[in-house]
Amino acid sequence: MRTLRNLPGPLPLVAGLVALLVASPLVFVGLQATQAGSDTAHRLLARPVMETLLWHTVALTTVVTAGTLVLGFAAAYLVERTDLPGCRAWTVALAMPLAVPEFVHGYSWVSLFPQVQGYWGAVLVMTSSLYPLVFLPVAATLRHADASTEEVARSLGHGRLAPLWRVTLPLTRPALAGGALLVSLYLLGEYGAFAMLRYTTFATAIYNEFQTSFDMASASLLTLALVGLALLLVALDARAARRGRVVREGTTGRGCALVPLGRWKPVAAGALAAVVGVTLGVPVFALVHWLARGSSTTLPSASIVTETATTLGYALSSAAVATAAAVPVALYSWRRPTRLARTVERAAYLTRALPGIAVALSVVYFAIRYAQPLYQQPSLLVAGYVVLFFPLALTSVRASLAHVPHGVEDVARSLGVHRIVVLSRVTLPLILPGLGAAFAMVTLTASTELTATLLLRPTGTETLATQFWVYTTGLSYGAAAPYAAVMVALSVPAVLMLTRRTLGTRATAPREI
Amino acid sequence: MSRVVLRSARRSALLATATAMSLSALALAGCSGSNDSGGASSDKESAGSLKGQTITVYSGQHEQTVSALVKDFQARTGIRANVRSGDEAELANQILTEGPASPADVFFAENPPALTTLENKGLLAKVNAATLAAVPSADSSAQGDWVGVSAREAAFVHNTGKLQAGQVPPTVKDLADATWRGKLGIAPGETDFTPIVTRMIKTQGEAGAKSWLEGLKANSKVYGSNEDLVAAVNRGEVEGGVIDHYYWYRLRDEQGAAHIHSALGYFKQGDPGALVDVSGAAVLSHGKHQAAAQAFLAYLTSKPAQQIIATSESYEYPLAAGVKNAKVSRSLADSGSVAQAGDLGDGKDALQLLQSVGLL
């Protein structure tokens, strides 16, 4: 078996190439940062605001990540492992905040409750909009995993909490770690929502640097500091992921043993309803409010149809490319868990923490030098989206591979089948739900992307997000509202697909192989 | 910069032709400027050689107004303009990253420092003399690398429930007084704020400007944008703040006069805070459509275009003689002279000061 696995194939090459492309913004940032002289570097890094930025960034990332972990896990546990009624409806409602872009989340809160600002405002808004990134993978793990171990633990008289702590939590550790990594990287790079909430982080400072100094060297220097923080997070995730790996899948037979909630049922239902009300109700209410009240509201013009089509076209094509590109990288690190493979995989994640403007400028930089005919062509915007959202695709594909037993490919190949056939007949079908989730996640995020779109789109092309931006910067919130509403509406099918694909049917149904 | 100087001979020849062509186009556009109803047909004839060309305009200006301008320009000249709208700073960064390969023919910015930065990097071509002559000479780059198109004025927006008109401070310096503690809002990350700091450095010296900024910082809540700031003043979150005048007019349009609880006040003439600042446009020196780009700049400073600016929702002041903005309650003449672009520089000193006090 070992010899079979060690056969060199095109996989490392393809995976390396993808990782190189995806990591190219890091190269760009590094190149630019070296242009800043040591004096500038010292002045920038030693200025008073740095300490504040570092503290803000660390405090926010820690608390929001912890918040999303608690909220995501608790919600997934209630929905998947207890006898709370309406499991499907809850799942959809709890995942739905993903359909609302963060900057719309931010504006919803600020426009309705101006006092929601600063640290606690940022914690509230970011936890609300990001917790589904933990909820969905944890719920999926709980749904597909064999519940018999938990049941056995309970039957041995361990009460409710001990199995939760000693069985369920370790079971979901990879899902929790993956979700936490995504959430925290997201927080490092996020700009729009924090700008609205008046909370300064490294990402907002980097934007300011780009905006006010027109000096890429100094902005890149700050970006490198941010990359340092991201490296730390990726290293933490690596430790967490190493500790929990194998999940026994309930592919045959049995359904979940449901924990009876008893008199706690109304309390649990009330808590979940409150979560949905806060995370989904507020933005929906704000959107309706703008549509009704803003005096600049006009009936959606004919252009909204064009912009919707453009947005969809870009989102779907970049989702397809990003998902396809994630497969070799995920496969490579899954089959060959070497140090190199892991490095390749992790380098891809770092991009997620880069502010959109740094990624976009790097794509501009490389495209204008090495791919000029493509510059400001649709394919370049797709490439930019792929670079930006590749980590989202990679997380989903990697998570689904974690459930595929090692050796299954070897068995197939030992029967004398060609590598490509093994891939298409065995491996890909096994990770199909993961591919679907990756596709939906990228579609969702790409359809609301703003910063990179502004820099990379073909001149004259507008998407829903850029049009929303045009109106909000002109203070025409009413006119902006229809575009926000269409963005949210477009994202709903992706979230539905995500919940369906991620959750599938309960473990009782036989899975196709 | 050497890139610009070391242009190949072929390129300079091309440029000379282009300049000649643009001069003729410009002369015609100038005609239309003085005769604002009858100019259209003669424009079309003159621009015959340029007709059907397409220029790319990177615009940081108010999008609705720019699209009205471009539409009119196309109708008059037959030259098409592809507009890339964005934040002026992002667009300037994009042009810097693109370098000589930039597809941009024209950069239309909101504030002089963005233009001055590109000028200093040698990325701008000289603007035709006729175009420069259409607006007061102080409104354009001293080197003639970009032309002023419209103007905006810094104003002190204040919540009318919390502050009477008489309580508007006469000078921006007063805002650093402890009496304002907790009552102000600022948006230091905005490119509109830097010029005021630059002028404080000019008038108070670096140390004076620094202690002023420290006082301002202690008194203020920091907002991410002028849009956020003006809205916050309007709902009474802070009593007042310095913005460009047009943000308030746009807020009034959006919320309706019934929901406006704020008003504009002005610092006295000559104060560093009484800043009249121009928006300008430039032709990129590596652009492939030099003549058509020059024709666009000529159009922007012509009467028909200035009239569109004067009546648009961007609420800016037109610069051409004889065109007034009737939608803004104060006339440009009451505001004092326009800040010299040379005095505003590229904003680097102001930026370093903002960073050293911890506002950026």
Residue A252's pLDDT band, with cuts at 50, 70 and 90, is very low
What is the per-residue pLDDT for A149? 67
Torsion from C-alpha of A46, A49, A52, A56, nearest 10 degrees: -110
Over 90: is that where the pLDDT of A455 sits?
A: no
Residues 6+ apart with CB under 8 A from A7: none
**Alpha carbons within 13 A on the beta-carbon side of A131:** 29
Highest mean pLDDT among A208-212, A219-223, A315-319, B253-257: A315-319
What is the per-residue pLDDT for B48? 59
The interface predicted TM-score (ipTM) is: 0.73
What is the per-residue pLDDT for B40? 38
Nearest CA in chain B to A357: B90
What is the per-residue pLDDT for B211? 95
Question: Nearest CA of chain A to the CA of B108: how many Å?
Answer: 15
Over 50: is that where the pLDDT of A507 sits?
A: no
Supply the DSSP symbol for A354: S
Nearest CA in chain B to A49: B358
Question: Would you call A114 and B232 a contact, using CB atoms and an 8 Å cutoff?
Answer: yes
**pLDDT per position as a tens digit, B139-166:** 999 999 999 999 999 999 999 999 988 8
A423-429 average pLDDT score: 82
Question: Would you call A207 and B114 a contact, using CB atoms and an 8 Å cutoff?
Answer: no
What is the per-residue pLDDT for A269? 93
- DSSP SS3 for A353: helix
Alpha carbon distance A433, A400 (integer Å): 7
State percent of chain A over pLDDT 90. 21
What is the per-residue pLDDT for A302? 62
What is the per-residue pLDDT for A296? 54
Q: B359 touching A, CB under 8 A?
A: yes
**How does strand B240-244 pair with strand B147-159?**
antiparallel
Beta strands in B48-146 (DSSP E): 54-59, 80-85, 106-108, 124-125
Residue A157's pLDDT band, with cuts at 50, 70 and 90, is low
Residue B228: list chain A partners with CB under 8 A. Answer: 110, 195-196, 198
**pLDDT per position as a tens digit, A89-99:** 999 999 999 99
Residue A182's pLDDT band, with cuts at 50, 70 and 90, is confident
A132-140 average pLDDT score: 89
Q: In this structure, are residues B60 and B114 in contact, taking their beta carbons and an 8 Å threshold?
A: yes
Residues 6+ apart with CB under 8 A from B282: B106, B107, B109, B115, B118, B119, B124, B125, B127, B141, B145, B146, B147, B297
Residues 6+ apart with CB under 8 A from B258: none
Question: Would you call B98 and A475 a contact, using CB atoms and an 8 Å cutoff?
Answer: no
Q: How many CB pairs under 8 A join A and B?
A: 133
* Type of residue at A111: S
Nearest CA in chain A to B116: A214
Q: A509 touching B, CB under 8 A?
A: no
Interface mutation target, options B56, B85, B284, B356, chain A, most CBs of A under 10 Å: B85
* Sign of torsion over alpha carbons B15, B19, B25, B30: positive
On whether the pTM is more than 0.80, the answer is no
**pLDDT per position as a tens digit, A460-484:** 888 998 888 777 766 666 777 888 8
Nearest CA in chain A to B250: A475
The DSSP element (H or E) to which B247 belongs, if any, is helix B245-255
Between A147 and A357, residue with greater pLDDT: A357
What is the per-residue pLDDT for A243? 59
A103-115 average pLDDT score: 79
Interface mutation target, options A214, A366, A468, chain B, most CBs of B under 10 Å: A214
What is the per-residue pLDDT for A126? 93
For chain A, give the mean pLDDT: 81
Q: A375 touching B, CB under 8 A?
A: yes
Alpha carbon distance B56, A480 (integer Å): 26
Alpha carbon distance A20, A442 (integer Å): 20
> With a cut of 70, which residues of chain B have pLDDT below it?
1-48
What is the per-residue pLDDT for A504? 63
